[in-house]
Structure formats: structure tokens, C-alpha cells
Amino acid sequence: MRNIYLVAAREYAENAKTKGFWIGVFLFPIIIIASIFIQGALERATPTRNFVFLDRSGDFEQHLEDGLQRLHDRDVMKAFGKYVREHSSMGGEAGFSADMLESIPAPDTRELLESIGDGGASLMPAGGIDAALMQIEPFLDDEAPEFEEPRRRFRRVELPGDVPADADLADVARGLKPYLRGKDKFDFEGDSIDLFAAILIPADISEKVQRPGLGAVMSAISGGPPQGIQYWSANLADEELRNEVRNLVNGEVRRREYVTEGMDVDKVQRIEKTRVPFASLNPKKEEGEEAVSLADVIRQWAPVGFVYLLWVAIFTISQMLLNNTIEEKSNRIIEVLLSSVTPNELMLGKLFGIAAVGLTMIGAWIGSGIGVLATRSGPEAEFATQLFAVLRHSGLLPAFVVYFILGYLMYAGIFLAIGGVCNTLKEAQNMMGPVMLILIVPLFTMMFIPKDPNGTLATVMSWIPLYTPFVMMNRAAADPPMFEIVGTFVLLLVSTLLVLWLTGKIFRVGILRTGQAPKLLELVRWVRS
């Protein structure tokens, strides 16, 4: 026992000292933090897009300008909401509380934020952002910075000087091409600017309107020169402006159709916004509390996170185990060790020591992940709270620990046996190929299984001991039948013990062997001896 502990303690101490371990510990939280910040940074980094807009029909100009203004207002209000949340007593660790909201006079930022979805005209509070700022003033923190209006995402610019505005649309497009390709810049309001897009609307646009029926299909599949609105841009990835323009123009076209058909436009728009409340209910919950909450969703998907953690942890630490077994083998430290401890003590010491390393790493990940979420304000904080609650009250954490230990021991056993028979890392990598292929499967099935947690695929895979830890963890939230939980657990336990027993045998013979890796037949003989 003492020797197992000593070996384990050394493995732990040495592995915990490696760079790989610390990179592993920190990388995960850093990725989480980075992914939160990068999103914001990317938004800020996108430059204002300049576009030219040439409407020969003259029907849509005003409409488009209004639409883009609304888009900008929406951005401003979003930023304002964030500003309020971060710099005033109205926003706190956990966002708005109900009585706080009641005590605050209009404008209620939450209501403002909610009205965004309407796409209606009343986006800006009366008096614009300045009025809102004045009202929020008394609640601001002392050191709150000035509110900065976000940059416009799109800016309409005049045609460059060398492109005649009254020319044929095809000529205009031809003239704009060097600018659109990014080869040339041109001056606008004193700046030398890039042209992001050009939107050209022909004069006969109203004749190009397509209505349901055969004609639409015919013209859609016939090639020929572009008809209708032309959206020119070299950037195919950023579709925001294109979608915005298309929606605006289509919306306006439809409005006109209503008018032509003699319908009340206001009425139609009102009708389009009607809806029936739709509630997701969970039959497993107590009566009166069936509504599906955030916690339920988390509970459903948290196992996926755990499966991933399990996978990464098993993968990483099995590698460690393999590497240092081969180190000991290749420089023959193993002999000194074996004159002091039995092969079984050595094997168990390694297994436990490295398992402890893995648990430390996972613990750090879970801890820092939750920690990072908890220190964020707003929706992330709420998510973290819910996550805590789910972890506390569901059986996920104990299940994770059990499956981690058994799954790890099984794979570690396999890797250790490989380490035992190979002398170099290269040799080991050859033998690891098949194991890797087996190990990769749960990664693929991880996302499917929650959708059909008690389906055939999930059930069958649960009974394959190599996959039991992953798949059963995957299914944990769906309450699989007790028979399967117990049955697969027993099977997993038995096969893990079997693997460890076999590994012990192979390890004992293999670790002192030098030269070529043994043939399969030889391995069988080792096990028998």
C-alpha cells in the first residue's frame, strides 16, 4: 500500500510540474474567457461599411434610409442597455431585480430592449438617446464613463467622381468595379474610403416583382442578365447589408401590394404580429411546475459537456501515462523500480497518481469555468447560477465521477499495456491507432444521443464497455431504465477489472522486455504465464 502511494505521489508531483499540465489547466478557462471577449472585440473591430445606393425607380430611397436608421437606433439602444447595466445601480451582479425595476421611472431599459424585436417605429424613446441619458443620470455610478454611441454599421456614400450618376446601370457597375474589388479608394467627406457594396435598383423594378406561380419559377431558373435589385460586393461572407436591403425592399414592395389589392396596411401588419402563447412542458416534473425552464435545458445538455470533459481528460491523461511508462522503460528506470516494488504496485501507483492529475485538471476546468461565468453580469451570471443548481441537485456530478474513474481505469489499462510492450514512442503510436479510432466514436455520437437518449443507438452503445462511460453519461439526464444503469455499470466494472488484470499480466512480462514489440500470440502466452 505504501509503495502504491509513493509511486502515485511521485507521478502526481512530477506530472503536476510539467508544462503540459499547466497549459492544460489554464488553456480551458482562457478559451472560455477569450470566446466571451473575442465576440465583442470582433463586433467592435468591424469597420463601418460604405456603400453606394442608386435607385433609378426612386421608390425605395427614403425607405432604405429609414430602415438603416432604425438598425442603428437598435444598436444604440443595445449599447445603452449594456451601459446602464454596467455603470448604474440599476444593473448588478445578477442583472435587474423585479422591485428595482418598479422603483425606476421610465425609460425602463428592459422594456426598451424588448421593444427592439418589434421592428416598429417606436425604437427610440421620445427625445432620443440624450433624453434617456438624462433620465438615467442620477443612477449612474460616480466613475461611470461617458456613454459612447456605437459606430454606424453602414454608411451611404456618394458615387465616386469618375462614375457618372446618370449613365446606364451596367456602365455604373462597370465603373464601380475597381472600387468594389478594393483596388481603388475614393474621397468622401474628406476621407479616403473603401467601397464595401453597391446597390443598384433599375427604373423598371416594379415590373420585375415576382408573384407566386409558374412565372417566378421560370425566371428563377432561366439565366440571363441580372434582373431586379443588383447587390454588388466582393465580400461574400458578410451578408448583413444584403439581407437588410432585401428585407427592406421586399417589405416595402409587399406594403404596396396590400395597397394595390385594397387592403388596410395597418391591419395587415397588426395581424402579422399576432401569436398564441406556446409553452414547453416537461411531463417528468411536479404538477404546476411543468414549464420547461433554463435549468431543464441545462440539465439536458450539461451531460454533453461532461462527456466532452470525460473524453478530453481520458485522452490527455492516458497519453501522459503512456509517455512516462515508455520513459521508464526506455531508460531502464523500471528495473530499479521493480527491485523495490512489485509490478502490480507500480501499475496501480501509476494509475492512481495520474488519475489524480486528471481529476485536478478537470476540477480546475469546472471550477474556473463556473468561476468565470459567475463573475460575469447579466445572462451569463444567470446561466452560471442555474448551472450550479443543476450540478447540485441532479445526480450528474456523482455519475460523472463514477464514470470518469471507471472509464479512465479501463482506457488507462489499455494504454499502460501498450506502454508495457513498446520500447519507443514510435512503436507505441502504431499500436495506439486502433485505440484512437475506438476512442473517437463517442465524440461523434455525443451530440446525437441527447436527442434520442433511450434510442437503439444509445442503448446498444451503452452495452459496449468501452463506450459505457461516455454514452451513459450522455444519457444521464434522460433517466435511462434502471436495468440498463445497473447492468451496464456491472458490465463496465467487470470489464474494467478484467482489463486491469490483463494489463497487470502483460505489464509484468512486457516492461522488462527489450527489442521488438511482441506478436499477438506472444501476448496471449504472457497472459497465460
Partner 1 sequence: MSETVLELSSVTKRYDDFTAVDDLSVSIPRGSIYGLLGPNGAGKTTTIRMILGIIQPTSGTISVFGEPSALNVRERIGYLPEEKGLYKKMKASAIIAYFASLKGMDRKSAKKRAYELLERYGLKDFADKKTEALSKGMGQKVQVLASIAHDPELVILDEPFSGLDPVNQEVMEEVIRDMAARERTVLFSTHVMQHAERICDRIMLVARGKKAFDGTIAEAKDTLPRRVRIETEDSIEPLRNVPGVVSVLRVDPESPGSHWDIELGESVRAQDILRFCFEHDISLRQFDQSDPTLHDVFVSIVGEDAREASFR
Q: How far is the CB of 340 from partner 1 (least distance, A)?
A: 4
Whether the CB-CB separation of 133 and 147 falls below 8 Å is answered with yes
- Tell me whether residue 10 or residue 267 sits nearer to partner 1 (CB atom): 10
Q: Give just the sign of the alpha carbon dihedral 449, 450, 456, 460.
A: positive
**Shortest Å distance, C-beta 326 to partner 1:** 12
Q: What are phi and psi of 174, to 5 degrees?
A: -60, -40
Rounded least distance, CB 30 to partner 1, Å: 24
User: Any idea which residue has 485522452 for its cell?
Assistant: 315
Beta carbon of residue 348, minimum distance to partner 1 (angstroms, whole number): 14
Nearer to partner 1, 437 or 521 (CB): 521
User: What is the smallest separation between the CB atom of 505 and partner 1, expressed in angstroms?
Assistant: 14
**Cell digits for 133?**
441619458
The percent helix, strand, coil of the chain (3-state, each to 5) is 65, 5, 30
Q: What letter does residue 451 receive in the DSSP assignment?
A: G
CA-angle at 226, arms to 220 and 228, nearest 5°:
80
State which residue, 343 or 369, has the beta carbon closest to partner 1: 343
Phi, psi of 55 (to 5 degrees): -110, 100
- State the amino acid at position 299 in one-letter form: R
Which residue, 180, 241, 249, 242, is CA-closest to 172?
180
Minimal distance in Å, beta carbon 311 to partner 1? 27
Contact 415, 500 (CB under 8 A): no
Which residue carries 521508464 as its cell? Answer: 328
Distance separating alpha carbons of residues 414 and 315, to the nearest angstrom: 12
Q: Closest CB to partner 1 among 171 and 335?
A: 335
- How far apart, in whole angstroms, are the C-alpha atoms of residue 152 and residue 39? 18
* Closest distance to partner 1 from the beta carbon of 10 (Å): 6
Shortest distance, position 427 Cβ to partner 1, whole Å = 18
**CA 281 remoteness from chain centre:** 26
Nearer to partner 1, 131 or 333 (CB): 333
* Alpha carbons 407 and 509: distance in angstroms, whole number: 25
Alpha carbons 321 and 75: distance in angstroms, whole number: 52
The burial of 431, by beta-carbon neighbours within 10 Å (0-12 exposed, 13-18 middle, 19 or more buried), is given as middle
Q: Cβ of residue 421: shortest distance to partner 1, in angstroms?
A: 16
Nearer to partner 1, 275 or 519 (CB): 519
The residue (of 12 and 311) whose beta carbon lies closer to partner 1 is 12
Task: Considering the complex, state which of residue 296 and residue 328 has its C-beta at the smaller distance from partner 1.
Answer: 328
Specify the residue, 149 or 327, whose C-beta has the smaller distance to partner 1: 327
Residues of this chain that bind partner 1 (CB under 8 A):
3, 6-7, 10, 14, 17-18, 327-328, 330-333, 335-342, 512
For 107: left if phi > 0, alpha if psi spans -120 to 50, otherwise beta; the answer is beta
